[in-house]
Structure 1
């Protein structure tokens, strides 16, 4: 196949031609090679299912009378209604919503908000703390606060330094002790983290106690907490937000991916009144200078609002609980298989590692497993030797049997 397209995270010199998608519905993508069970929610974005009728209708209704309008100095009802809904659903104290267009951008916005806060408060704080193996996106700021490695080695001259905390292991005190020491210096502007589970960093899971402990340290030393709920939000960890497992409220929270049900790009960065007020001034130099051309696109906002209403009107917690149980049962079926190790689960997300001599993101077992799964009618996207299943919430028990069956039938 001859194509002008340059695909993301895709090595054109070694990969076979991409599978061509034709249509989508529910948990499936119909392709030129037959139907594929979307066991990774198309990069973790699809929540209620592909082509969810209410979301599609909201897009059609809005596109018929309102398309893109500049959001600097103008507003519109889809954005106003969505912002109000998000504030009502978010952890307490996140009262201001800044719209953007992707998870990476939402995190860039959060970092700029945090640094702007301390600049405007007249404090010299400018250090950012992160947890090792984290991933927050592929723009310069988000790469800087993510793990350094194969994803971003070529761009190292562009990135700024951060303070790295060890991933929580054992009794988890290693992370808390390290952050306590850093926070006590008085130089920490913010801590940014993926709550409870690292996504691209290998689906590594840590306890809610650590999350609560990090919040307590932020409170003691007046450090802003930024929570990246781009992947974890909208039910992936078994609750609406991963923060809900502890009841903590961050100072800034990022959401995208499932925000529109995975139908159309949109992101939001929610901030506390404290952060907003630091930028609110008759001195125009304290304006928050960030935007993108499609900020708060009305059609995307309408899609997100339809998704929110689905969440509010449906017994979503029951659905999440059922999916968590089904995932756990199938993960347990591979736990004793000698080809696998380190089974783990966080809500609706289940992961396990293939035992191979060469692990890590560049492990050759990943592309082989991906190809095998496609032959079995399942879309998987292993992180090297880590294989995970993160399906849309409309998935059935039979669908999950198909996904885990494809994993079990793979010969290392």
Structure 2
């Protein structure tokens, strides 16, 4: 029995209808190097989605590997209750210096970070004598994880409907995604409509609202929905006005994905300084995609709300692997990599800007494709909305892309790439050619489509 079949018999894969693996078994990956995955048949697959948006500098990245190896010879893991260790202290200090928020609380994944921020917000208001402030606001199309608390502020119908009896649903306000604008309404008008909707809700419900949670600039699970930084400026102003916390979910968009180290830093207030949330949730790229780790950072004011002799006023949340030393060393190696400069004096973000310019030129044929209804780009994220009525488009594209040596997972009818930051120009060309060739192949094979033969673009290696 091969690895794929053994996995199908023993492993319950995430967000997967397992019956589908009868016809499309999972690929067994036995090695990885840089942006490439190697399966058990020796096929090379370009990891164009960074293994669910986590991988920053390619697989088997030496600085992270060496940091973990060194730490493994010192302390592998200790409980963080009543104890501490150098990596978690140094990581917390450096994250505070980068964000202006401190008091890092650690967990293992993004959904746990969301749970922590929600609980911390509501509990802080309770400790301050305002127990009525325990409701939350999310945005249309927002995604913040799949635990019960995180799902309560997530607006993905498939998830919310499946587990609705378990959830305490938040208010859901309009997303500033300009694709959601009504006919004849400009992007600027739609943005103002969303700001006005938030202002109206807070005017009426601020006394019961603990926080608003949102993904700054890019709503990933909504099909890489991108919005203007001006919305974040308005969120900060309104949260200050109505005494409501702003939770910035930077889990997917942090660490350079949007072109700045953190996405919210692109929103500049009237004072000329980037606006600052009350909470920042981090995960995914925090360790470069190597080990599970998440963090929640917050303000001195929130931290002080828990400072008390009474245990019940402490933050009552824990994880066995909180602040794992190995994961913290991986995260420190990530921060070191962002701080370093190459021989040309460029840091990671500067090199990413150059890489993005090259890739933008390479995907121009895809941008002009007659079935592409909208394309967009921010930092190291690209997305294309495809004109198709086929409900199976995403699955068919995913399977065809694997055959073409590409790991791509469309969201509904949105094709996107969020690659590691280490693609060479040849890798980028392979990806750009493959995106287009696979799209032609899949669209030509749609139910009811006229017969056509779509050949791989030059240089596309079929696996």
TM-score (norm 2): 0.86
Partner of 2:248: 227
Q: Cα RMSD between the aligned structures?
A: 1.2
Check the 8 A contact 2:122/2:210 in 1, yes or no: yes
Of the three residues 387, 393, 408, the one matched with 1:355 is 387
Aligned-pair distance for 1:330? 3.3
Q: Which has the higher contact order (CA 8 A, sep 6+)?
A: 1
Of the three residues 26, 43, 49, the one matched with 2:52 is 43
What is the distance in 2 between the residues matched to 1:279 and 1:7? 39
What is the distance in 1 between the residues matched to 2:172 and 2:216? 16
Which shifted more, 55-64 or 9-18? 9-18
Check the 8 A contact 1:95/1:273 in 2, yes or no: yes
The Cα offsets for residues 257-280 of structure 1, whole Å up to 9 and x where unpaired, read as 000011111010001001100011
Residue 117, structure 1, aligned to residue 124, structure 2 = yes
The alignment partner of 1:13 has SS state of helix
Partner of 1:97: 104
What is the distance in 1 between the residues matched to 2:365 and 2:428? 12
Aligned-pair distance for 1:111? 0.4
Check the 8 A contact 1:372/1:406 in 2, yes or no: no
* Structure 1 runs of 4+ with >3 Å offset: none
Of the three residues 254, 264, 277, the one matched with 2:291 is 264
The alignment partner of 2:374 has SS state of strand
What is the distance in 1 between the residues matched to 2:119 and 2:60? 35
Residue 336, structure 1, aligned to residue 336, structure 2 = no
Of the three residues 399, 403, 406, the one matched with 2:434 is 406
Partner of 1:86: 95
Residue 57, structure 1, aligned to residue 66, structure 2 = yes
Partner of 2:357: 325
Aligned-pair distance for 1:331? 3.7
Decide which structure has the larger Cα Rg and report it: 2
What is the distance in 2 between the residues matched to 1:390 and 1:319? 16
The Cα offsets for residues 374-396 of structure 1, whole Å up to 9 and x where unpaired, read as 11111101112111010000112
The Cα offsets for residues 325-368 of structure 1, whole Å up to 9 and x where unpaired, read as 2332234322221121110112110000111124xxxx201111
The alignment partner of 1:225 has SS state of strand
Of the three residues 370, 376, 379, the one matched with 2:404 is 376
Aligned-pair distance for 1:148? 4.0
What is the distance in 2 between the residues matched to 1:297 and 1:332? 44
Which shifted more, 78-87 or 212-221? 212-221
TM-score (norm 1): 0.96
The Cα offsets for residues 290-320 of structure 1, whole Å up to 9 and x where unpaired, read as 0111001111111111111111113112112
In structure 2, the gaps of 5 or more residues are: 179-186, 268-273, 342-346, 444-463
What is the distance in 1 between the residues matched to 2:355 and 2:241? 38
Residue 366, structure 1, aligned to residue 398, structure 2 = no
